[in-house]
Amino acid sequence: MPVWRYPVLRGIDPARTARAVIRDAPISFKESYEICKVLKGMKLVEAEKLLKAVIRQEVAIPYVRHNKKVGHRRALSRLWRRWRVASGRYPVKAAKYILKLLKNVENNAQNKGLDVEKLRIIHIASHRGPYLKRYEPRAFGRSTPWFGSRTSIEVVVVEEG
């Protein structure tokens, strides 16, 4: 059995931080990587608003690393100065799982007695999970591959001020 540990953040008071993790979510690593890149450093409330807008397909996520053959989005023109890229997508499924994770870390912070309005994401990272290889039998002795990837995401927020 694997042993899971949170990242060690030095120089930060553990009483002012809250953490949450989601393991082996059935989402794409590439999509979750790009979302995490955008969310790092944002306030928790702003990050939740952004993910809800992505789910409604109003705001696109800029694709910086995995952007081969990705179309340009008009919604990214105002973010161009920050990300220097106009290509992006609307990763709805990954945004739903990451929004669920942010709600979880918000509840963990409330249980610790932290102010939700002052929380800032200081660490958010996605890691590749197991790659499931299955085959679906077809007619005449053939089979069709039925592969799936998993992703683990961890987040740490800190109360500012």
Domain membership of residue 8 (yes or no) is no
Least confident of 35-49, 63-77, 112-126: 63-77
Rounded distance, CA 142 to CA 5, Å? Answer: 42
State the CB neighbour count (10 A cutoff) for residue 27: 23
Average pLDDT estimate for 71-89? 75
Domain membership of residue 6 (yes or no) is no
Q: How does the average pLDDT of the chain come out, rounded? A: 90
Domain membership of residue 66 (yes or no) is yes
Domain membership of residue 27 (yes or no) is yes
State the CB neighbour count (10 A cutoff) for residue 65: 10
72, 61 contact by CB (below 8 A): no
Residue whose entry in the numeric block shows the structure tokens 């179309």: 71
Residue 61, both tokens: 């996520």
Q: Is the pTM of this model over 0.85?
A: yes
Domain membership of residue 10 (yes or no) is no
